[in-house]
Amino acid sequence: MVAARITVNGKEAPISPAAPHTTVLDFLRERGLTGTKEGCAEGECGACSILVARPGVDKPTDWVAVNACLVPVAALDGQEVVTSEGLATAGEPGTAPTLHPVQEEMAVRGGSQCGYCTPGFICSMAAEYYRPDRCAKANANSDSDSDSAHGSADPEHGPNGFDLHALSGNLCRCTGYRPIRDAAFAVGPPTEDDPLARRRERPAPEPVATAYVRDEASFLRPGTLTEALRLLRERADAVVVAGSTDWGVEVNIRSRRANCVVAVDRLPELRQLSIGSDHVEIGAAMTLTEIERRLDDSVPLLAGLFPQFASRLIRNSATLGGNLGTGSPIGDSAPALLALEASVVLAAADGEREVPLCDYFTGYRQSVRRPGELIRAVRIPLPLSPVTAFHKIAKRRFDDISSVAVAFALDIEDGTVRTARIGLGGVSATPIRALATERALEGEPWAARTVEAAARVLQAEGTPMDDHRASAAYRCAMLRQSLLKLYAQTTEQTTEAVPS
Summarised one tens digit per residue, pLDDT across range 107-146 is 999 999 999 999 999 999 999 999 998 874 434 444 433 3
- How many residues are listed for the chain in this entry? 500
pLDDT at 30 over 80: yes
- Burial pattern 489-498, b for ≥16 Cβ within 10 A else e, equals ebeeeeeeee
CA separation for the pair 116, 48 (Å, rounded): 10
CA separation for the pair 254, 7 (Å, rounded): 29
CB 208, CB 80: distance < 8 Å: no
Which class in CATH covers the domain with range 210-263? alpha beta
Confidence at residue 153, expressed as pLDDT on a 0 to 100 scale:
57
Among 134-138, 452-456, 480-484, the least confident range: 134-138
The dihedral over CA atoms of 471, 475, 357, 279, expressed in degrees to the nearest 10, equals: -140
Where residue 48 falls among pLDDT bands split at 50, 70, 90?
Answer: very high
Confidence at residue 93, expressed as pLDDT on a 0 to 100 scale:
78
Strands 80-82 and 374-381: unpaired
Inter-axis angle of helices 472-497 and 448-459, nearest 10: 160
CA separation for the pair 313, 244 (Å, rounded): 12
Strands 279-283 and 273-275: antiparallel
* CA-closest candidate to residue 184, choices 268, 237, 145, 127: 127
CA separation for the pair 238, 340 (Å, rounded): 31
pLDDT at 227 over 90: yes
At residue 153's C-alpha, the angle toward residues 149 and 156, to 5°, is: 115
- CA distances (Å), 467 to each of 470, 471, 475, 498, in order? 6, 6, 11, 45
Residue pLDDT, tens place only, 362-410: 999 999 999 999 999 999 999 999 999 999 999 888 888 899 999 999 9
Confidence at residue 470, expressed as pLDDT on a 0 to 100 scale:
93
**Which CATH number is 268-381 given?**
3.30.465.10
**Which CATH number is 387-497 given?**
3.30.390.50
Confidence at residue 1, expressed as pLDDT on a 0 to 100 scale:
57
- Burial pattern 407-421, b for ≥16 Cβ within 10 A else e, equals bbbbbbeeeebeebb
Same fold, 210-263 and 268-381: no
- The mean pLDDT value for 12-20 works out to 96
pLDDT at 288 over 70: yes
CB 65, CB 166: distance < 8 Å: yes
Confidence at residue 39, expressed as pLDDT on a 0 to 100 scale:
95
2 or 100: which leads in pLDDT: 100
- The mean pLDDT value for 269-275 works out to 97
Q: Which residues contact 330 (CB under 8 A, 6 or more apart)?
A: 401, 402, 405, 425, 426
CA separation for the pair 271, 168 (Å, rounded): 25
pLDDT at 328 over 70: yes
- The mean pLDDT value for 147-153 works out to 46
Confidence at residue 493, expressed as pLDDT on a 0 to 100 scale:
60
pLDDT at 498 over 80: no
Q: Which residues contact 15 (CB under 8 A, 6 or more apart)?
A: 3, 4, 5, 6, 27, 73, 74, 77, 212
- The mean pLDDT value for 98-114 works out to 95
- The mean pLDDT value for 299-305 works out to 97
pLDDT at 211 over 60: yes
For the chain, the domains span 1-207, 210-263, 268-381, 387-497
Which class in CATH covers the domain with range 1-207? alpha beta
